Structure 1
Amino acid sequence: MRPVRLSVVTATAAVAALTAVTGCAEKSDAKAGDGAVQVTAADDSCEVSKKEFPAGHVELAVENKGTKITEVYLLFPDDRIVTERENIGPGTKAKITAEVKAGSYEIACKPGMKGDGIRQKVTVTGGTAAAKRSPEMDAAVAAYRKYVQTQADETLPKVKVFTDAVRAGDLEAAKKAYAPSRIGWERTEPVAESFGDIDPKVDVRADGLETGQKWTGWHRLEKELWQDKKLGPDAKALANALDKDLADWQQRVGKAEITPTSMANGAKELLDEVAAGKVTGEEERYSHTDLVDFKGNVEGAQHSYELLKPVASKNDPALVTELDKRFAALNKLLDTYRDGPDSYEFTSYEKVGKAERKELSDGVNALAEPLSKLAAAVVK
């Protein structure tokens, strides 16, 4: 889920981790390409260098001049996400490459990563096609679309095992089914988030709620199971709502806007999810099943990368060599925390010490930096 829910205790550490993941490489870049749309984010403003630009491959060169971690989005008029970059630390820069068709859009900066953000309307001019694609790009998009649909299809029966246990009042069975029910979601989270309205229903944490928002979804039930140690009177209704909302996700995922650049950016977003929620222990704060989510995020990022690899290999072979190395190293490190014969049995995160968490964070950072360059490599 979008990592906006930082407690006071963990905020300082999280800012440092996120800056390492999202800002260090970009910060050294003196300036972006001449054709880039400059986006300057602050605590109370969001300035763009041009409000009209041609369709095709568009680069947003973002600089956060504020004091808060921010997010930047390029949005369709109905708030679906074209592309985004979360967790841009104060004083850092980020580059986002996206494939954009002609039409009306909004660029939104979200200081503190909450709310609707500060928005600027922009117009993309030109024909209906955003950019020419090679057969390899088309094949990657088609394969990824099949992948996300398969993940959604396979998630629903696993969720039903979880929700059936909740409805039956069987706490131990529900606990056992909880983490497996989330794997498909974690692998493809950026696509789910692109719809805008599903993620807040199924994957929000208590401190990420907007004013007036009712808390529903996985984490509400996670709290009841592990912290409250009992299911509340609305547990059955919550289970029913989770089934319904995820069925909605399953039906809509096949219609998601997917491009080679959104796949590459989504892979980077998944690593940001790991840095902001899993490494810090914030995501699964009651169940401590963070490493299962961690593995799902990494698998999803790697799948996108592998599909784009034929294109990236031609355009930037050195980057591909580095990404192969970093994915292998992070997967090897994760394997040391397996806690059973099942591929998704991992050590409870509360048993992972500070030094080990630092090692995991370093592994994520080492992968995230080159992964942030994948979208640009794909469209060279």
Structure 2
Amino acid sequence: MKYQHLIAGAAAAGALALILTGCVPNNQNASSGASATTVNVAASDNACDLSATTAPSGAITFTISNSGSDVSEFEIVAEDKLRIIGEKENVGPGTTPKYVAQLEPGTYYTSCKPGMVGAGVGETKFTVTDSGAKIVPASDKKAIAGAVAQYVSYAKDQVGELVTDTQTFVAAFESGDVATAKKLYPAARAHYERIEPLAEKFPDLDTDLDIREADLDAGATWTGWHRMEKDLWAPAGYTPLTADERKTLGDKLNSDTKKLYELFYDTSFSVTLGDVSNGAIALMDEVATGKITGEEETFSHTDLWDFQANIEGAKVSFENVRDIAEGKGAAGKKLVSQIDADFATLSTTLGQYGSLDSGYALYNDLSTDQIKQLSDQVNALAEPLSKLTAVVLK
């Protein structure tokens, strides 16, 4: 199922998403005023081919030709494949728009997204070499706009993938394919866990989607992911759902996820710079107070999948404001350095237990010492992160 973007200002948001800390006018090289390097993008329903996979740093023009049957989106992400550096939305069939990105040296990935929802196609590694061109620092106003726009783009990308991955999970759940549904459950939920602070802006919907049994009010109807989790990983004495009950639950999960998607794309949806930096703090607090105790995934014990997704979401939030924080003087630089180090330490430790792609150890298989080590490192990261918003908004 494909949902068209509802936001009227999509083109404007896409342009803002390319406002980096080193931003210059999009049609010029920062140092010489020369025309931007041009890379042709051949987009279709199942491909996203680039005419070149390397380019010098500075302004790069991507000329996107869509030969597919559906409106598409061209996307550039950072090396972590999560943080969106820039995107060109609403590339209609038969059109050839141009999109200019000001890219610093580094590794990026490009892809196209037919229908502008779900996973992209034609992912390609794109290397930007150091041209030696001086990149002009953006004004605070532009840096803030860029940080916010990049984070909004990331959040919308995640909720789009949540829609499609949830549909796949629900199809398995409703059909009674327990083994497949169990495999899909934690992977689909990762998209939600990465953007949970924004989803919580809609508390009623967040409750319907993600409430745990222990948090239910007396007499309340239990729906959402964790209701389905209990049916898949049935405890002793549990009465399994009927086929009709599974369908009712699955259909509601799909419907509620679509509502969340539509709310993220509504023109009234807004995010502030404080929301971005506070998102990192909130996600690590989520780990510290819920995931680390094993309370989140009571029946499946897939807490480490959620743990990793929360960390990834927190790191994306942080990366989007790091340049602003570093620009606040010695204290900002010191804080950023500490956060970088603590993220690296925690990621290394968590990596000992698996990955989102290959799967993780079940949480109840970890020893007390292993859980304590993770808890200590979560708390170590949460401490400097708690100072981030105050520095960014200074």
TM range (shorter): 0.5 to 0.7
1:69-122 deviation line (CA, Å, top 9, x unaligned): xxxxxxxxxxxxxxxxxxxxxxxxxxxxxxxxxxxxxxxxxxxxxxxxxxxxxx
Quick one: which of 138, 141, 150 aligns to 2:145? 138
What is the RMSD of the two structures over their aligned residues, measured on CA atoms?
Answer: 1.6
Q: Confirm or deny: 8 A CA contact 2:234 2:240 kept in the other structure.
A: no
Larger Rg: 2
Q: Which residue of 2 aligns with 1:367?
A: 381
2:217 & 2:140 partners in 1: Cα distance? 39
TM-score, normalised to structure 2, is 0.61
Quick one: which of 166, 170, 181 aligns to 2:173? 166
Q: How many residues align?
A: 247
Q: Confirm or deny: 8 A CA contact 2:280 2:313 kept in the other structure.
A: yes
Q: Which amino acid aligns with 1:334?
A: L
Q: Which residue of 1 aligns with 2:257?
A: 246
Q: Which amino acid aligns with 1:318?
A: K
Percent sequence identity over aligned pairs: 40
Q: Which residue of 2 aligns with 1:354?
A: 368
Quick one: which of 267, 270, 295 aligns to 1:257? 270
1:211 & 1:351 partners in 2: Cα distance? 32
Q: Which residue of 2 aligns with 1:116?
A: none
Listed as ranges, the matches of 1:59-70 within 5 Å are none
2:367 & 2:141 partners in 1: Cα distance? 47
2:285 & 2:357 partners in 1: Cα distance? 23
Quick one: which of 227, 231, 241 aligns to 1:232? 241
Quote how far apart the aligned CAs of 1:133 are.
Answer: 5.9
Q: Which residue of 1 aligns with 2:307?
A: 294
Q: Confirm or deny: 8 A CA contact 1:338 1:347 kept in the other structure.
A: yes
1:134-175 deviation line (CA, Å, top 9, x unaligned): 211110000000000000111111111110011111111111
Listed as ranges, the matches of 1:119-158 within 5 Å are 134-158=141-165
Q: Confirm or deny: 8 A CA contact 1:155 1:181 kept in the other structure.
A: yes
Query: What are the ranges of 5 or more consecutive residues in structure 2 without an aligned counterpart?
Result: 1-138
2:273 & 2:393 partners in 1: Cα distance? 8
Q: Confirm or deny: 8 A CA contact 1:271 1:297 kept in the other structure.
A: yes
1:138 & 1:152 partners in 2: Cα distance? 21
Q: Which amino acid aligns with 2:344?
A: A
Quick one: which of 203, 217, 223 aligns to 1:196? 203
Q: Which runs of 4+ in 1 moved over 3 A?
A: 228-231
Quick one: which of 215, 219, 229 aligns to 2:226? 219
Quote how far apart the aligned CAs of 1:230 are.
Answer: 7.0
2:324 & 2:209 partners in 1: Cα distance? 35
Q: Confirm or deny: 8 A CA contact 1:145 1:254 kept in the other structure.
A: no
2:261 & 2:275 partners in 1: Cα distance? 19
1:344/1:282 CA distance change after superposition, 3 Å: farther
Quick one: which of 344, 347, 352 aligns to 1:331? 347
Quote how far apart the aligned CAs of 1:263 are.
Answer: 1.1
Q: Confirm or deny: 8 A CA contact 1:152 1:185 kept in the other structure.
A: yes
Q: Which residue of 2 aligns with 1:11?
A: none
Matched, 1:345 2:359: yes
Quote how far apart the aligned CAs of 1:370 are.
Answer: 0.5
2:375 & 2:354 partners in 1: Cα distance? 17
TM-score, normalised to structure 1, is 0.63
1:263-311 deviation line (CA, Å, top 9, x unaligned): 1111111011111221111001111110000000000000000010110
Q: Confirm or deny: 8 A CA contact 1:180 1:344 kept in the other structure.
A: no
Query: What are the ranges of 5 or more consecutive residues in structure 1 without an aligned counterpart?
Result: 1-131
Matched, 1:312 2:325: yes
Q: Confirm or deny: 8 A CA contact 1:171 1:230 kept in the other structure.
A: no
1:266 & 1:193 partners in 2: Cα distance? 11
